[in-house]
Amino acid sequence: MKKIIIIGAGAMGSAFAVPCLDNKNDVTIVGTHLEDDLIKTIKSNNQIHPALKTKLPKEIKFEQFEKLQNILKQDIDIIVCGVSSVGIEWFVQQISKNYKKKIPIILLTKGLSIVDNELSTLSDKIKNLLEKEGHSQINISAIKGPCLAAGLANKMRTGTVIANKNLKESQYLKEIISTNYYSTEISEDINGVELSGAIKNIYSMLIGASEGLSNSKATKEIQSKYFLNTAASLIHRSISEMVEFVSNYGGRAETVYGLAGLGDLYVSAIGGRNSLMGKYLGEGYLYNDAKDKFMKNITVEGAQLALEIGPKILQDLNPKHFPLMFSMLQTICENEKLQIEW
């Protein structure tokens, strides 16, 4: 039995607790400073998580933020990062106070960042921030793949990939968290896994725009019936661009064809927030208008990523090599209508 602490009580962090518990681990979820009310709601409502709409096992312990440092001082075996990409620096500030050498950190968060005017994976960002705080021998793994939180919380069969530069660490974690419904592959290509898991959010918006892009002169009824030709073409072109993008930033091309790339792109493209935003953009809405009108208080990870890395990518890469990505980045960052060169 391992003692696992998950920081962040959102949908994915809470769902991830389920297979961890089922593999006979001691699991505690600690909310961020913004999630005190959420923790109260879960504990007072028979362990039903409002975002998952699912009752979680009573053995999963939920604690408010004020308990975090005391819990970190205990003999923790694994720390899991379940906060959003904008909370990574906050996460590091919290664990830095009591982080011990070599304790595995599992990164569930999908995203990329610009650090010192260079594109950075979130695992590298965490490592660099901890090193600046005087820590060494930092052990970070990333878990990515086609995993919808509510499905995992309800024990739907799910496959993900655990990546660490040291393959032995990936294997160690695989044995701790895998179950008969939560299967895990291992990889040492952590760059490729993180890059794939992040940029697929941008491409899933493009694929979500398939109906509107299929034939602008057709009725919505016709578009909704016959858009799959367009979607298939966009999926093919998206994967081609993802391979070049990942390779350009030090990942392996074959990783894109695995769970972190193609697998996750499929799940995101057929449903979810990124795909829904893409649908509105394909219908001709400007990003700012679509966000305000339809998704005002909803996080759209692909758009969030575009705003984070878009200006740097538009400046550094060749648009001839990444026409789909450039189209979406310009649509989000410059609030332009979505247009694609066919």
The 3-state secondary structure of 262-315, one letter per residue: HHHHHHHHHCCHHHHHHHHHHCCCCHHHHHHHHCCCCCCHHHHHHHHHHHHHHH
Indicate whether 58 pLDDT > 90.
yes
Q: Categorise residue 209: left if φ over 0, alpha if ψ from -120 to 50, beta otherwise.
A: alpha
Q: Categorise residue 314: left if φ over 0, alpha if ψ from -120 to 50, beta otherwise.
A: alpha
pLDDT of residue 271: 81
Residues 6+ apart with CB under 8 A from 161: 143, 144, 145, 184, 185, 186, 187, 193, 258, 259, 260
- C-beta of residue 95 within 8 angstroms of C-beta of residue 106: no
Parallel, antiparallel or unpaired: strands 104-107 and 139-144:
parallel
d(Cα 64, Cα 157) in Å, to the nearest integer?
30
Give percent above pLDDT 90 in the chain: 96
pLDDT digit string, tens, across residues 70-87: 999 999 999 999 999 999
Q: For 149-174, give the DSSP string.
A: HHHHHTT--EEEEEE-SSHHHHHHHH
Output the average pLDDT for the chain.
96
> Mean per-residue pLDDT for 121-146?
97
Indicate whether 65 pLDDT > 90.
yes
What is the CATH topology of the domain spanning 3-188?
Rossmann fold (3.40.50)
d(Cα 145, Cα 110) in Å, to the nearest integer?
10
Domain 198-333 sits in CATH at: 1.10.1040.10
Kindly report which listed range (148-152, 184-188, 224-228, 254-258) carries the lowest average pLDDT score. Answer: 224-228
- C-beta of residue 3 within 8 angstroms of C-beta of residue 79: no
> Mean per-residue pLDDT for 242-268?
97
Residue bearing tokens 């972190």: 260
Q: Categorise residue 278: left if φ over 0, alpha if ψ from -120 to 50, beta otherwise.
A: alpha
pLDDT digit string, tens, across residues 208-230: 999 999 998 899 899 999 999 99
Confidence of residue 138 (pLDDT cuts 50, 70, 90): very high
306 burial level (CB within 10 Å; 0-12, 13-18, 19+): buried
Question: How is residue 210 written in tokens?
Answer: 């398939």
pLDDT digit string, tens, across residues 197-208: 999 999 999 999
pLDDT of residue 317: 97
Indicate whether 341 pLDDT > 90.
no
pLDDT of residue 342: 78
> Mean per-residue pLDDT for 33-58?
97
- C-beta of residue 161 within 8 angstroms of C-beta of residue 193: yes
**Phi, psi torsion values for 55, nearest 5 degrees:** -80, 125
- C-beta of residue 156 within 8 angstroms of C-beta of residue 280: no
CA distances from 197 to 77, 183, 311, 334 (A): 26, 17, 20, 24
Domains in the chain: boundaries: 3-188, 198-333
Confidence of residue 333 (pLDDT cuts 50, 70, 90): very high
Indicate whether 142 pLDDT > 90.
yes
